[in-house]
Structure 1
């Protein structure tokens, strides 16, 4: 087992970036559903839900991204990983796409959903999958933010 890489941006040894990222990811994935619901029903409720979800996704994503960026810049072990740079670059691309999606909707909550809002939402969903793949590799393959001291020993099921 290789050495773990500690996060500088942590609370009680628990990295903050993974704590924060779940909410914006859930919001941006939910955005696909609300966009489709608006397109299928024409109910303005879904357009309003979409503007809120994309806003939460963008603001939460940038906050989480800043915490992740600080870890990237402050921890040399993370900086040396190509996987970390791939994750960071994809995250910036994702947040740029999500921010564009939000900005297009601010003055026209419902008129841009079909088709461009939905296209951007689907693009964000794809980018989330790619970015998450590299984020998972950082944790599971490179032990970024994993504390082996606290991890329970595996038990033999037999």
Structure 2
């Protein structure tokens, strides 16, 4: 693992120095990852309960993710140190692509539960892989570039 730089990059979307974006992403990420499991529950059982669970998880994941992205976008466009990082732009681009897929997934389920198999499940799987990639890039921003981290002196 690369060494953390000697200086920190402060977040502008923060409350009392605590960056909002990392705080806000946990529920959307959990919802979109759990969506894969609820899709499997529906596919294996055929029980419409799991289709409703999947609809709600897709909605919470998509809408919550877009809300969390506002704080990330504020940091990306207003903090020069983040704008200069390829990891920052890569994280943002993958996250927008992932949230677009998550939104499409929710819209498909909202209109017709028959789309869960195969399209909804396939989109859920691709979304979960993109979440992992965006999370890895976000982790690099924190651990390698000290974005939103206060280093001890």
Range of TM-score over shorter length = over 0.9
Q: Which moved more, 1:140-149 or 1:23-32?
A: 140-149
In structure 1, runs of 5+ residues without a counterpart are 154-158
Q: Which residue of 2 aligns with 1:44?
A: 48
How far 1:2 sits from its partner (Å)? 1.7
- The answer to whether 1:99 aligns with 2:72 is no
Q: Which residue of 2 aligns with 1:24?
A: 28
Q: After superposition, what is the alpha-carbon deviation per residue over 1:7-60, rounded to whole angstroms, capped at 9, x for unaligned?
A: 000011110000000000000000000000000001111000000000000000
Q: Which has the larger radius of gyration?
A: 1
TM-score, length of structure 2 as denominator length: 0.95
CA RMSD in angstroms comes to 1.0
How far 1:126 sits from its partner (Å)? 0.5
2-structure distance, mates of 1:67, 1:80: 18
How far 1:62 sits from its partner (Å)? 0.3
TM-score, length of structure 1 as denominator length: 0.92
In structure 2, runs of 5+ residues without a counterpart are none
Q: Which residue of 2 aligns with 1:140?
A: 143
Large movers: runs of 4+ above 4 Å: none
- The count of corresponding residues between Structure 1 and Structure 2 is 149
Q: Which residue of 2 aligns with 1:59?
A: 63
Secondary structure of the 2:114 match is: coil
- The answer to whether 1:12 aligns with 2:12 is no
Matches within 5 A, 1:99-138: 99-108=103-112, 110-138=113-141
